Chains A and B, each alone.
Chain A
Amino acid sequence: MKKVPIYIIVAVITFAIGYNVNARYFSNRRPVQPIAFSHKIHAGDNDIPCLYCHIYANKSRVAGVPSVQRCMGCHKVIKTDSPKIQKLTHYWESGEPIPWIKVHNLPDHVYFTHKRHVKAGVECQSCHGDVEEMDVIARVASLKMGWCLRCHMNEEVKNGKDCWTCHK
């Protein structure tokens, strides 16, 4: 019976390992996308503003993934020899949208609107992290209620603590 503490310690440590292995390598915080798109190249190295591709962010609830047409607008001519771009061209030519995997996914009972946040002058980076430095897009924020509220309270958002502001 005196070995019980050892068992517990081993169990806890290995549990934590399992948990973290999943979080780091299998999590959809950082999923493998159908095309290995780099935000670093676009938003960082080439300085393309966020709203150039995410055109609805200041107009709608959703920011909008760029349409395949928008990608092709540049990539008809730019870097057409890269295999990644050829993959893109293939989607375009076969008339299929690219099935991106959602990184920032809010449950249905949360009403979130990009428009309000963008109009209030919140930087995209405050929630999405330094996207312009990410080769692979990853979620940096927890997107949990506490996380939202911390900002709502720090910034003294009007009605920011009201349940109905986000759950309606």
Chain B
Amino acid sequence: MLNRRDFLKLIGLGGVSTGAGFVLKEAMEPPVAKLIPYLVPPEDTVPGVANWYAGLCTQCSAGCGVITKTMEGRAKKIEGNPLHPINRGKLCARGQAGLQVLYNPDRVKGPLKRVGKRGEGEFREVSWEEGLSILSGNLKDLTNRNEAGKLYLLTSALRGHLTSLLVSFMDSFGSSNYFQYELFNNSNLIYANSVTIGSGAIPDYDIANTRLLLSFGADFMGTWLSPVRYARSYGDMRQGRPGVRGRFVQIEPRLSMTGASADEWVPVRPGTEGILALSIAYLIVEERHYRGADAKRWMDMLKRYNPDEVAGEIDISVRKIGELAEEFVEGGPSLAIGGDNLASYDNGIGNLVAVNVLNYLAGSIGHKGGVLLNGKDKTFKRKSVPYAQLTKLGDSALEGDIETLILYNTNPLFTAPSGMKLGASLENIPLIVSLSSFMDETTGMADLILPAHTSLEDWGDDFADHGAGYSVATVMQPAVSPVFDTKGVGDVFLALAASLGPGFKKDFPWRSFGDFLKDAWKKIYRRNRGSGIKERSFEDFWSRLLAAGGWWTPSPKISGAVNLSVGKASSHIPSAAAGFDGDSDKFPFFLTVYSHSAFLDGRGANLPWLQEMPDPMTSVVWGTWVEMNPKTARHLSLKEGDMIRVESPYGEIHAPLYLYPGIRPDTVAVPIGQGHTSYGRYAKERGDNPLAILPPRVDTRTGALALNSTRVRVFKSTRSGKLVKMEGSARELGRGIVQTVSNKEFKKMGKEA
């Protein structure tokens, strides 16, 4: 029956199948997982249940409130704080990406001291004690040599109590050289408002309730002032009032993301926006829509802006100007706003004043749906932020007046036009200390890096611009424990103060910046009792404050009519179009640079989520591009994706070409934000920085940097590079994707139905 061979075969088969059964079962099992308990469970944590901490978004200066979801001590998601009056629970993409600031693999993970030559990027890790003692030793030296005034401090435009700590530190030390720099700041707007409507506080532009919005280059849904808030207002303007749909006209040489939502785009010639505003104003007065006693004097002043005279210069037809004027006065309320693009010419102030004149003559100031004036913010005094401060810093450095420079949260080597030659000036400073958490361009030049916490790890607060229509104080608290070996900025300065001797220590008795902040808030608690959060004791107030994420109350509105005199206006309005470097024969194109909706002034470029986010207008990712009108490109025999060399009198950049019908044929546009030479793996060596070819041209009145101030020429570049974009074609190509009917057809359809 069964012979020996068969028997052995069967045994073999049996062995193999047993093994197969065993292995199959093994493969079906999920892998072994461990269950690690806490040693000692933290009090306020339930595993699996999220804790939310209120805080502040620091990705731009709008000052939105956030809440951060943390689970088992880790930050998982950032959302808008629903109680916060600025963003009311919403958040923009930059705010969302705040999480990647915290967990960025390119953060400076602990104090570093330079070992190689300056700027070569060679550092050695040091302890906090050593790092702080290097700096405090240096500061003591300065005091001993009687050179305390040679300590300079440069930060971003901080607005909270951190500023007061820094100011008093510098005061106690004996230096008056605390500067703030920010590429996009509102100094021109503040100046223009204070000379025309008498209040430097940013007014509340009541977009939600207006019927006609004339936006002069304001990208208010992307980057201007308070984008999240104004995007909401825009929604209300269009759909928030039954039966009323506000009309919206965008006036700018290059159509921005906000402009794409407008009913009409008016592509005015760069630098003449203010003149357009005044010629509209002229028509308003001429048609007797302005009834003030001084109408005659306005008329005289505005005469030279008669559309018949200026239409050619601003490149808008007389008829169009007439239509705009008519719309602006009929069926109000109407509102004109002037944005960054308008403010960034060398006649920026004049342009903004012109916009205010327009509002004034149309009676839009101080009325619902117009410009609502805010009273001066008494809670907190803030430093002005002109570019002039940076220029001064550069000059002092050049003259050898700076011995020690401390930098925090600012990257001027990237954000200042290279025409300013800041890098060379900084070379003269013997000790540069950066408190940055990232190896940005300026930090790369530092001799000592004492990395600061990011906003989810630190205490802080912020007094947002009054534009919100509210007095807003937002508090920031640590949502997670520090991920790396970093310290809070405030704590660094308190530690320095402690090491500078007993006299100094007496002025700064706080153990931590958290204590300092709490103390500072006691003052607000006492002063503002009765409004906002009401509590009997400070401790209760403080904990409710932290739970709510801040304190706010409708801001004091200025009542009473604003009187803008002809004289005041006439001394500020633009007498001519803005000036541009480079003559028009050699450099035929205007250059418009604008802040990228994700990277802003370049600070967001190290966050992979933002790098991956397609630009809303072009769908380009991962690089810089040059926008040019298809007609111009055809004329120059260039096609989309070609690498282009953009040349100004100050230098050249290279980037691929994007054909953009939303730009004037005589203008090219390049977004700011890319082109970092360091700043981490995601930002480094991606695209080119258009700031590198700008002249250091400023507004003559405020000294604010004029970004739109040069002409350029373009050539095909010999470099290689790719345009990476999500869209296939921006054209419908007969596919009928967007169905449209003309007005006439629509009316006919109505009759037939």
Contacts of B21 in A (CB 8 A): 14-22
Q: State which of B13, B24, B35 has its C-beta within 8 Å of the C-beta of A101.
A: B35
A83 CB–B CB distance under 8 Å: no
Contact B47 A56, beta carbon cutoff 8 Å: yes
Contact A59 B35, beta carbon cutoff 8 Å: no
A60 CB–B CB distance under 8 Å: yes
Contacts of A96 in B (CB 8 A): 39
Segment touching B, from A5-13, A41-49, A147-155? A5-13
Query: Which residue of A is nearest B25, CB measured?
Result: A22
Segment touching A, from B26-34, B83-91, B104-112? B26-34
A98 CB–B CB distance under 8 Å: yes
Contact A18 B19, beta carbon cutoff 8 Å: yes
Q: Given A6-B10, A14-B13, decide whether A101 and B22 contact each other with a Cβ distance below 8 A.
A: no
Which parts of A50-81 form the interface with B (CB within 8 Å)?
56, 59-62, 64-70
Contact B20 A18, beta carbon cutoff 8 Å: yes
Q: State which of A18, A21, A60 has its C-beta within 8 Å of the C-beta of B46.
A: A60
Contact B34 A101, beta carbon cutoff 8 Å: yes
A95 CB–B CB distance under 8 Å: yes
Contact B34 A18, beta carbon cutoff 8 Å: no
Query: Which residue of A is nearest B29, CB measured?
Result: A28
Nearest Cβ in chain B — how far from A102, in angstroms? 4
Contacts of A20 in B (CB 8 A): 21
0/1 per residue, B7-27, Cβ < 8 Å to A?
A: 001100111011111111110
A20 to B41, CA, bound (A): 40
0/1 per residue, B28-70, Cβ < 8 Å to A?
A: 0110111111111100001111000000000000000000000
A13 to B16, CA, bound (A): 12
Total A-B contacts with CB atoms under 8 angstroms apart:
119
A3 to B14, CA, bound (A): 15
A26 to B15, CA, bound (A): 18
Contacts of A19 in B (CB 8 A): 21-22, 24-25
Which parts of B629-685 form the interface with A (CB within 8 Å)?
none
A107 CB–B CB distance under 8 Å: yes
Nearest Cβ in chain B — how far from A60, in angstroms? 4
Q: Given A14-B17, A27-B29, decide whether A3 and B6 contact each other with a Cβ distance below 8 A.
A: yes
Nearest Cβ in chain B — how far from A16, in angstroms? 6
Nearest Cβ in chain A — how far from B285, in angstroms? 62
Contact B35 A102, beta carbon cutoff 8 Å: yes
Q: Given A17-B18, A18-B17, decide whether A65 and B34 contact each other with a Cβ distance below 8 A.
A: no
Which parts of A76-135 form the interface with B (CB within 8 Å)?
92, 95-102, 105, 107, 113
Contacts of A28 in B (CB 8 A): 29-30, 32
Contacts of A15 in B (CB 8 A): 17-18, 20-21
A31 CB–B CB distance under 8 Å: yes
A6 to B7, CA, bound (A): 11
Q: State which of B22, B36, B46, B48 has its C-beta within 8 Å of the C-beta of A97.
A: B36
A113 to B37, CA, bound (A): 18
Nearest Cβ in chain B — how far from A59, in angstroms? 5
Pick 26 A–B contacts, CB within 8 A, sort by A.
A7-B10, A10-B10, A14-B14, A14-B17, A14-B18, A14-B21, A15-B17, A15-B18, A21-B22, A26-B22, A60-B47, A62-B48, A64-B37, A64-B47, A66-B37, A67-B41, A68-B37, A68-B40, A69-B38, A70-B41, A96-B39, A97-B39, A99-B35, A100-B34, A101-B33, A102-B33
| B residues with CB within 8 A of A | 6, 9-10, 13-15, 17-26, 29-30, 32-41, 46-49
9 shortest interchain CB distances as A-B pairs: A18-B21, A18-B18, A19-B21, A61-B48, A60-B48, A22-B25, A18-B22, A14-B14, A15-B21
* Extra 14 A-B pairs, beta carbons < 8 Å, given A67-B41, A68-B38: A11-B14, A15-B17, A18-B19, A18-B23, A19-B25, A27-B25, A59-B49, A60-B46, A97-B37, A97-B38, A98-B36, A100-B34, A100-B35, A102-B34
